[in-house]
Structure 1
């Protein structure tokens, strides 16, 4: 959690050289190489939950980064990540940062144990963002670099 000490706004980039991106439809989340847009900036909000402190990431559209229970593709393990205005009982908008490489990389975990993942590859995976439990240990797609904006 120290990763976010003093950080009010951040950008998150991944191993594909892309930033977590709030889509203009105010619902979708994707990845983009454009780091100079408000869409790549996420406001950090700390919240206390039963098992400790977590963060919520609010987009430029005043919606929160939320893991859904809807599969990204039928028959695949990854689930969609969207922007929502969560209710108190919505536990998939609370993310637990886990430091992977000291002062460099984190993973963001939902309360059900899945990890935020920036997917690479060919369409429809390219530029998509999902959450799931990786089948392969050491999957780089779940690691994010935090860039403090404010």
Structure 2
């Protein structure tokens, strides 16, 4: 969580040097080599001691859905969604640090995972629980801080007021 304490806006870069972007349809999420666009920037919102939320440039939150990515494939879709009171924690992400990188864990125990290979997998993002050693390395993300927090910030998330004080 310490990676995100001073970050207001970040970029998530996969091990294949592709950035997670919020697509223009304001619903899907994909990967792109160009991390310089606004679509690659995600605003960070702490939601408690161990969880954060990511908000796209479209004003939608990153969500781990229950919809299968493809029929017969283990991974499930990652989408952008409005923040609604009936969400079950699927917009909450638990960052687990691994050296200078992070794994982003869903409320169901899966991990945010970039996909590669041939279409339809290429440049997509899913969530699942990788069992193979090689696949576990693929769920690591580099965090690039785009904008730092001021030393004091108030955010209104879930109708509660959170204050963050930078301990210097």
Q: Does 1:78 align with 2:70?
A: no
Task: Measure the CA separation in 2 of the matches of 1:3 and 1:71.
Answer: 30
4+ runs of 1 displaced by more than 4 Å? none
- In the alignment, which of 57, 61, 78 is matched to residue 60 of structure 1? 57
Task: Measure the CA separation in 2 of the matches of 1:21 and 1:40.
Answer: 4
| Cα offset, 1:76, TM superposition | 0.8
CA root-mean-square deviation? 1.0
| Cα offset, 1:60, TM superposition | 0.1
Give 5+ residue unaligned stretches, structure 2: 148-168
Task: Measure the CA separation in 2 of the matches of 1:6 and 1:58.
Answer: 16
Q: Does 1:110 align with 2:106?
A: yes
For the Cα contact (< 8 Å) 2:65–2:76, is it kept in 1? yes
| Cα offset, 1:100, TM superposition | 1.1
Partner residue, 2:144: 147
**TM-score, normalising length from structure 2?**
0.83
Deviations 1:120-148 (Å, cap 9, x if unpaired)? Answer: 11111110000001121352221000000
Residues 129-138 or 67-76, more deviating: 129-138
Task: Measure the CA separation in 1 of the matches of 2:106 and 2:86.
Answer: 13
Give the secondary structure class of the aligned counterpart of 1:8: strand
Partner residue, 1:6: 6
Partner residue, 2:30: 30
Task: Measure the CA separation in 2 of the matches of 1:53 and 1:88.
Answer: 20
**TM-score, normalising length from structure 1?**
0.93
Q: How many residues align?
A: 145
Partner residue, 2:129: 133
Give the secondary structure class of the aligned counterpart of 2:90: helix
